[in-house]
């Protein structure tokens, strides 16, 4: 018994050490990728999108609705969900070499231009300006256009974002189905069929968005700098980092979509408290 107890204690100490290392690594993720700013940007996106959808979904864009949206997309709540998703991935430490890249001067600059690009695309006329830029690059500098396409493919941006969007849309329906007023009409088969019907449109949107984003975000990089970013993304550490990040974002977006669906149902039937 004493031996078993000693062994158990040793295992606990080892587990605690691993947890501490993982927590430290996740903190580095949040810092290196400036996730606090990202969560703020996503909060603004969510609130604006929620206000835009309210009219078509029969929800009045009232102060109460805006307040509910702000709670749904609260940055601290988003951070907790993001971390929960990241923690589901085993061997996060395998991404450390790629994470270290974002702690360099070039990596930090890339993080900033990616955040700025997201803001630019959200601005009035941002998507149209980006699309025009893509058309210009494709004509004037096809080699650079192909580099953007390679970056998108290496990081699996279209497929991962399509899958994430489909899961988020399903979570929205499931959130609505928590209301007795809509539960009967929202069977699991109905929800799944409805979501899959959206796949072609979502895929097209993601293909357009990822190339538009790339043209805005990376236009300030030299081709050598962009190639370095692509090369890092190709490594096992880069692929693991991508897996960890998508796990975090998927968890966060699914939680937000579920809460948005539930809020939509409540406001549509007047339970807006």
On whether residue 273 sits in a domain, the answer given is no
Quote the mean pLDDT of the chain.
Answer: 88
**Contact assessment for residue 112 and residue 35, using Cβ atoms and an 8 Å cutoff:** no
Distance CA 48, CA 41 (A): 11
Distances (CA, A) of 192 to 16, 175, 265: 41, 14, 18
pLDDT score for 9 = 38
Taking only Cα atoms into account, the Rg of the chain, rounded to an integer number of angstroms, comes to: 21
Residues 235-253, mean pLDDT to the nearest whole number: 96
Q: Judge whether residue 86 has pLDDT over 90.
A: yes
On whether residue 257 sits in a domain, the answer given is yes
Which domain, by its residues, includes 52?
24-268
Least confident stretch, 176-180, 193-197, 246-250 = 176-180
Q: How confident is the model at residue 186 (pLDDT cuts 50, 70, 90)?
A: confident
Distance CA 42, CA 65 (A): 17
When divided into structural domains, the chain yields a total of: 1
On whether residue 10 sits in a domain, the answer given is no
Q: How confident is the model at residue 21 (pLDDT cuts 50, 70, 90)?
A: very low
The residue among 223, 213, 73, 13 whose CA lies nearest residue 130 is: 213
Q: 264 Cβ partners below 8 Å, 6+ apart?
A: 57, 59, 172, 175, 176
Distance CA 159, CA 36 (A): 26
pLDDT score for 185 = 79
Q: Judge whether residue 114 has pLDDT over 80.
A: yes
Residues 84-103, mean pLDDT to the nearest whole number: 94
Helix (H) or strand (E) holding 150: helix 142-154
**Contact assessment for residue 178 and residue 199, using Cβ atoms and an 8 Å cutoff:** no
pLDDT score for 12 = 38
On whether residue 110 sits in a domain, the answer given is yes
DSSP assignment of 158-194 equals: HHHHHHHHHHHHHHHHHHHTTSHHHHTT--HHHHHHH
Q: 235 Cβ partners below 8 Å, 6+ apart?
A: 97, 98
Q: Judge whether residue 177 has pLDDT over 60.
A: yes
pTM: 0.86
Q: Judge whether residue 227 has pLDDT over 90.
A: yes
How buried is 138 (Cβ within 10 angstroms: 0-12 exposed, 13-18 middle, 19+ buried)?
A: middle
Phi and psi at residue 61, in whole multiples of 5°?
-75, 60
Task: Report the chain's terminal Cα–Cα distance, integer Å.
Answer: 56
On whether residue 13 sits in a domain, the answer given is no
């Amino acid at each position: 018994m004493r031996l078993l107890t000693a062994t158990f204690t040793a295992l606990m100490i080892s587990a605690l050490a691993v947890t501490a290392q993982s927590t430290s690594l996740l903190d580095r993720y949040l810092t290196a990728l400036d996730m606090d700013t990202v969560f703020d940007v996503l909060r603004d996106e969510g609130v604006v999108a929620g206000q835009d959808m309210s009219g078509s979904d029969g929800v009045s864009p009232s102060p109460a609705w805006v307040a509910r949206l702000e709670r749904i997309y609260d940055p601290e709540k988003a951070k907790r969900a993001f971390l929960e998703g990241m923690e589901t991935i085993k061997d996060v430490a395998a991404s450390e070499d790629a994470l270290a890249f974002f702690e360099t001067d070039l990596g930090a600059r890339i993080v900033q231009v990616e955040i700025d690009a997201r803001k630019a695309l959200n601005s009035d006329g941002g998507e149209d300006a980006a699309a025009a830029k893509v058309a210009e690059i494709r004509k004037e500098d096809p080699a650079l256009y192909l580099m953007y396409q390679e970056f998108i493919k290496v990081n699996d941006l279209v497929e991962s974002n399509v899958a994430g969007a489909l899961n988020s849309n399903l979570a929205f329906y499931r959130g609505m189905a928590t209301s007795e007023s809509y539960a009967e009409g929202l069977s699991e088969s109905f929800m799944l069929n409805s979501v899959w019907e959206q796949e072609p449109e979502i895929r097209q949107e993601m293909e357009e968005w990822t190339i538009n984003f790339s043209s805005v975000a990376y236009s300030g990089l030299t081709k050598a700098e962009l190639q370095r970013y692509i090369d890092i993304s190709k490594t096992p550490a880069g692929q693991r980092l991508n897996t960890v990040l998508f796990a975090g974002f998927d968890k966060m977006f699914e939680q937000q979509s579920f809460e948005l669906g539930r809020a939509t149902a409540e406001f549509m039937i007047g339970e807006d408290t």
